[in-house]
A and B are shown apart, each in its own frame.
Chain A
Amino acid sequence: MHADPAVEVTALVKRYGDKTAVDGLSLTIARGAVTAVLGPNGAGKTTTIETCEGYRRPDAGTVRVLGLDPVAQAGQLRPRIGVMLQSGGVYAGARALEMLQHTARLYAHPLPVGPLAERLGLDSCGRTPYRRLSGGQQQRLALAMAVVGRPELVFLDEPTAGLDPQARRATWELVTELRAAGVTVVLTTHQMDEAEQLADAVAVVDRGRVIAQGSPDELRGTDARLRFDGPPALDLAALRKVLPDRAVVTEPSPGSYRVEAELDAALLAAVTGWCAGAGVMPDKLAVQRRSLEDVFLDLTGRELR
C-alpha cells in the first residue's frame, strides 16, 4: 500500500449559478481500499466525484487524483482511472459487446473482453443494441467499461442502483476482487448495506461537506441495544442499579424489555446475572447493534428533502 493517498480533495467549492453544490469539502481517500461516499440526494456526491474525474473545474479548493490535477493533467490521468457514470455513456445503436470491445481498444493492456462480459452476465445480451438492454444490463455494461482498461483507481457512481439481487451480488464480488487485486475503489451509494458490506472507509456527505468519516465500525460506534422478553412489570429500578450510569432501561410494551448502553460482555453478564437472581428467564435475548442507516439518519436528519 502506498503512503500517499489516491484522492486528496481540499476545501473544494463548486457552484452552479447561485446554488452551491459543494461547500468546502475535504476528503482523503486511501490507496488500495474501497471507500463509499454516502449522502442524501443533492448532497454533492456526484459533483465531487465528477470533479475528481476531471469533468468539473473547482471554483475554489484543490483536487488531486493519483497526485495529478484532473483538469490540467487529464491526459496523464485518464489512462489510469476507470469511470462508471450514473447513466448513459453508450451509443444507442451500439451492441453491448461491441461497446465493451471498443472501450478495451482504447487501452494498452485491457482485460480479455469475453471472460469479463461472461462474469457480469453480459454474454447472453452481447449482440443486443444498448437501447434495448434492461436497466440492469446497462449498469453492468457501464461497470465492465469502467474496469476493462485495468485502471489503478475506479470511480463508480451508484453502481448497483436498480439492480436485481443476483446482479448486485456479482457487482459486489467484482468490487471485492478489485480491492484484492490492489485497485482503489471509490463508490457512491444510497444503500447502507452496500457500504457496510464493501467499504473499508465511509465518508458521509451532506449539504456539500463531509460530516463524518471512518470505517463502518468506527461510525457505528459501540452503542447497542439489548432486547429480551420476560414476565411483565419487572422491577427496572433494581436492574438499573447493576448497570452503568449511561444505560437506559425501558419496557416499551408489557413483558418486552430494552437496554440501551455501550455494549460489552460485562453489560451482557450484568443483565443476565440480574435475571438469574430474580428468577427470570430472559427469552428472545438479542443484541441489536446500531446500523449504518441509524448513524446516517442521525447525521443527516430524517425529514424528506
Chain B
Amino acid sequence: MTATDLTPRPGAAPVGRMLLAQTALETRMLLRNGEQLLLTVVIPTVLLVLFSTVDVVTVEGPGERVDFLAPGLLALAVMSTAFTGQAIATGFERRYGVLKRLGATPLPRWALLSAKTGCVLVTELLQVLLLSGIALALGWSPHGNPLTVLLLLVLGTAAFSGLGLLMAGTLRAEATLAGANLVFVLLLLAGGVVVPLSKFPDAVRPVLELLPVSALSDGLRSVLQLGGGVPWADLGVLAAWSVLGLAAASRFFRWE
C-alpha cells in the first residue's frame, strides 16, 4: 500500500483547463459510442453514396444528383449530432447522475454546457470534412459563399442544440432515446433532406418548410447548389427555433 499525502490543498483548476478537459472527455465519449457513430457518420455517409449513385429518389435542380443531396446530408449531419446525439447522450448522463456529480466539482454549469457545444462543433467539423470529401469524389461542385454556409451551420446547430437539450432535460432517458430517434427518421424523410419538399402535397408543404431541418437543407441548397446569396428566410426560421429551443431548455432543464 502506497502512502498518499491527503493533507487538504483545495482549489479549482483554471477554467480554461477545465473547459478543455471537459470538451475532450465529452468528445471521446461520443466517438467511442457505436450507436452515436452509426447516427452521425454511417447513416449520412451511406445515404449520400447510395442516393448519389443509384436512382432511387428523384432529385431536382441543376447539376448532378450529388449537388442536390450533399447539402441535405450536411443538414442531416448537423441534426444527428446537435439534436439526436446530444439529446440521447445528455439524457443518459442526467439519468446516471453524471450531471449531478459534475455539479459538485469546481466545473461551472456554463462551462459544462460550453464543453457540450464544443464537442458538437468538433464532431460536426469531422462530419463536414468526411461528407464533403466523399461528395467531391462523387463529382460534387459546390457554389456560393463559404461564410454563408458557415452561418447556416452555426445557426442550425444552435436550433438543434436547444431542442435536444430541452428533450434531454425534461423527459426520461428512455423516452428521449425513443423520441430523438423517431424525430430523426421523420425529419430525414419529411424535412427536405433527401426527398424534395415539392413531392409533398400542397397542404402540408408550408408546415414542413418551417421545420428546422427543412430550413437548414433548403438554405444550404440555395447557396451550395444554386449559388444564391444569403437565404434570409431560412436563417429567420433557424433563428426562431434557436431562440425558442434555448429559452425553453434553460427554463425547463432539470439537472437530476
Contacts and interface: CB of A to CB of B under 8 A. Distances in A.
A92 B5 CA distance: 30
A152 B10 contact: yes
B8 A150 contact: yes
A116 interface: yes
Nearest to B109: A74
B100 A78 contact: no
Interface of A: 53-55, 75, 78-81, 83, 85, 87-94, 98, 102-103, 105-109, 111-112, 115-116, 118-119, 145, 147, 149-152, 173, 177-178, 180-183
Chain B: number of interface residues, binned into ranges? 35 or more
Contacts of A54: 103-104
Given A106-B12, A181-B6, A89 B32 contact: no
B199 interface: no
Interface in B207-256: 256
B100 A85 contact: yes
A107 B97 contact: no
16 contacts: A79-B106, A88-B96, A89-B97, A90-B96, A94-B25, A102-B25, A106-B21, A106-B107, A107-B10, A107-B106, A109-B10, A111-B4, A112-B4, A115-B4, A119-B2, A183-B8
B33 A93 contact: yes
B174 to A, nearest CB: 14
A78 B106 contact: yes
Contacts of A102: 21-22, 25
A152 B8 contact: yes
A105 B29 contact: no
B105 interface: yes
A111 to B, nearest CB: 6
Contact of B105 (A55, A78, A87, A91): A78
Question: Top 4 closest A-B pairs, CB basis?
Answer: A89-B101, A108-B11, A88-B97, A181-B6
B12 A105 contact: no
B6 A177 contact: yes
Contacts of B100: 55, 85, 88-89
Nearest to B107: A106
Contact of B106 (A106, A111, A116, A152): A106
Given A79-B11, A108-B13, A150-B7, A89 B98 contact: yes
B96 A89 contact: yes
Given A106-B106, A182-B8, A94 B29 contact: yes
B18 interface: yes
Interface centre among B8, B9, B93, B108 (most CB of A within 10 A): B8
Contacts of B98: 88-91
Contacts of B10: 79-81, 107-109, 149-152
A216 to B, nearest CB: 23
Interface string B5-40: 111111111100110011001001100110000000
Given A91-B93, A119-B4, 5 more contacts: A88-B101, A106-B107, A107-B13, A150-B7, A181-B7
Given A90-B96, A106-B18, A177 B4 contact: yes
Interface string B115-131: 00000000000000000
Nearest to B14: A108
